[in-house]
Every structure is written in structure tokens, then in C-alpha cells.
Amino acid sequence: MQIHSNYPLQLLNSFGFAAFAQEFVSVKTNSELFDAISYANSKQLPWQIIGGGSNIVLRSNLPGLTIQMQILGKKLVRETESQFVIDVGAGENWHDFVAWTIENNYLGLENLALIPGTVGAAPIQNIGAYGQEVEAFIDSVEVIDTALMKPTSDQESVSVVLSNVDCQFTYRDSIFKSNPSRFVVTQVRFTIPKKWLANIQYAELSKQFFDNPSPSAKDIFLAVCQIRKNKLPDPNLLGNAGSFFHNPVVSSSQFEVLKGRFPDIIANATITPQGKKYYKLAAGWLIDQCGFKGVRLGQIGVYDRQALVLVNHGGASASDLLELASQIKEKVHTVYGVDLVQEPITMPARSD
């Protein structure tokens, strides 16, 4: 395990912000991860995990030890009459994993294609897109539970497997997101049903198949990739973290009031397993209607083709980004009475 000091992170975050880790290590096994956390604890250093860097906002200096998750590997564990069971390392690229499932005829994840980040981040955020959420395919998640770590602990004593129910999944949330310093995801077990049905109910996706009512999983995979490429900038060309805000969730009564005031408001209705109806408002539409699409504040701005995406035009900082985000949240709240919640995680900054 090689630990680096004052390590540059500009290439490890999709906003491209110039940032440095006080100390940095890349881990490729559960044992290395355990050793890295143990090292930080022994030195009384704060520590944080980064994966693909596509869902974080980095300030100029990160305190303590920054651990890059690079635990790889994906394999079919077993096959039953009804499903495929697949284990995947937390450091695997999410989109590459989805492409691999399509190539191997493990169908169902195609709506989640081209979401940036790692497999380990998928359950943390409970990622979702185009009418699908990852929780529907997660059997269990293997983690290191740092609450169990003591000076005498070994790796096996702190490795825990949490079931789907244990993960406490809700919209873009989970027990991992609620307890970021406790659970470190090392592996995700997926169950992919053999009985496949096309999921093209989401309006934007449905339009792609007006002339093809029975698309294949590969057709949907390619369509999702094209939609995302058309409306989201390539972070290699224009720094961004994809959608910067969650779509706000409101009750049926709240939605009716908003619909009365703003007849063109865009929302998707959802029914909970308990039969309760709620609405997810299109955050991008709210931001656009408030006049922010294409707006720039120095070198930070709102993407001119999708108001939900904030972009670094080059040389911007986390402070610039958070200032613009604050202005957007304040205006949307004033106009619509709706609170926007930031999706990327703002990492801590060193005080020195």
C-alpha cells in the first residue's frame, strides 16, 4: 500500500476542479481497504472514499487520507430457473458493467446505461433513470462496517453483508448515504430476472420507439446512451457531474396547487407500494423557467442544453459552483415554494 502526500485530484473529479489530497492511496482489495482505514484511524486522520469522481464537489484541499476505490471483478455466481446472480466489485465502472450484462444476455439494467461513476456508488445513491432504479436489482451489498473497527479488529470481523431491505432504499437515498462514515461498499450482488420486459414507459424514452413498440434490451440500451449524449456534456470536454439537483418530490395536494398556478409544469406521477401517489417534479424545467439555462457566473455556469447540469468552463472552483447553486435554489424556492436538493456530495476542506 503506497501512500502519497499532497496528491493532485484534478483528473479524479469530473468537474475538473484543481484539488489536492493531504494523503492519498488507491486500494484494489478488501485487505488494502481495511489497512488504509486502519492507518488513518491509527494516525487520527479523517478519511474519505472516492470512486469515479463523478458525483463529488472537491474543494481545493482535502484533509486526512483520501482512498480511491479500485476493487474490481464481476462474475456470474449462480443461475437459477428464474434469475442470474452476479457479484461485482465496487470499483468497476458502472456503464461498462451495464454493457457487459447486455453482451451476456443478463437483461434489465439497460435503462441505467451511461450513468457515470462506479458500481459501489450505485447503491449509495440508489441511482435511477428512465423509469428504473437500481434497488430493484440489488440482492445485497458487502461492506466494511467501520463502527465495528477496533485496534484489535481484523478484516473479516468488520466485513458485513446487508440485504436489500437492510439498505433502506428510498428515492436517491440509502443507509449508506445516511451513514457515509460508517459503511464502505466493497461489492454488490445483483439478481437479474430471466423474464425480461421492455421498460419504455418514461415519456422521453417512449418517443424513441414510436415506430418500434417491441424494442430489444440492446435497442433500449443504445437509445438511452443516445439520449444522454444529446443532452449531457462530456465531462472530458466540459467539467460536470451530470444532474446537479434531485427531482423534487411533492404530494398530490402540493402538485395540484402548483399545477393550478403553473399549468405547464412537468412532473411524473409515482405510486408507492402502499398505494400512495406522489409526483416527481422536473428540476431542470423549474431551473429553466427561472431563467438560469445558459447563465454563467465567471467560469461556472448552467449548461445551455440542460438546465439541470452545472458546468465548469475552465478554471472554476468549488466555491464558484456552490455560489451559483445557492442562487438557483433560492430563486426556485421563491417562485415555486420547492426546495432543490444537491445531488453531488461536497467533500470536506482542510482548515489549514
Q: State the pLDDT confidence band at 315, using cuts at 50, 70 and 90.
A: very high
pTM: 0.91
pLDDT given at position 273:
65
Q: 157-198, pLDDT tens digit by residue? A: 999 999 999 999 998 899 999 888 899 999 999 999 999 999
> Does 218 fall in a domain?
no
Read off the CATH number of the domain in which 43 is found: 3.30.43.10
> Does 201 fall in a domain?
no
Q: Are the C-beta atoms of residues 4 and 23 closer than 8 Å to each other?
A: yes
> Does 207 fall in a domain?
no
pLDDT given at position 351:
54
Residue 352 has pLDDT above 50, yes or no: no
**Active site residues per annotation:** 172, 243, 343
The grid coordinates listed for 146 are 467501520
Same domain, 188 and 84: yes
338: containing domain: 239-346
Please give the average per-residue pLDDT across 287-292, as a whole number.
98
Phi–psi pair at 209, nearest 5 degrees = -125, 35
> Does 200 fall in a domain?
no
Total structural domains in the chain? 3
> Does 19 fall in a domain?
yes
Domain boundary among 27, 47, 69: 69
Same domain, 257 and 331: yes
Q: State the pLDDT confidence band at 268, using cuts at 50, 70 and 90.
A: confident
What are the residues whose beta carbons fall under 8 Å from the beta carbon of 52, sequence distance 6 or more? 14, 93, 94, 116, 117, 118, 121
Q: Are the C-beta atoms of residues 232 and 309 closer than 8 Å to each other?
A: yes
Q: Are the C-beta atoms of residues 109 and 137 closer than 8 Å to each other?
A: yes
pLDDT given at position 350:
64
> Does 12 fall in a domain?
yes
Same domain, 41 and 11: yes
Residue 69 has pLDDT above 70, yes or no: yes
Percent of the chain residues topping a pLDDT of 70 = 99
Domain boundary among 193, 218, 249: 193
Please give the average per-residue pLDDT across 246-253, as a whole number.
93
Same domain, 59 and 78: no
> Does 165 fall in a domain?
yes
Same domain, 257 and 189: no
Q: 194-243, pLDDT tens digit by residue? A: 999 999 988 889 999 988 889 999 999 999 999 999 889 999 999 999 99
The grid coordinates listed for 131 are 423509469
Same domain, 184 and 89: yes
* Average pLDDT score over the chain: 94
The grid coordinates listed for 274 are 402502499
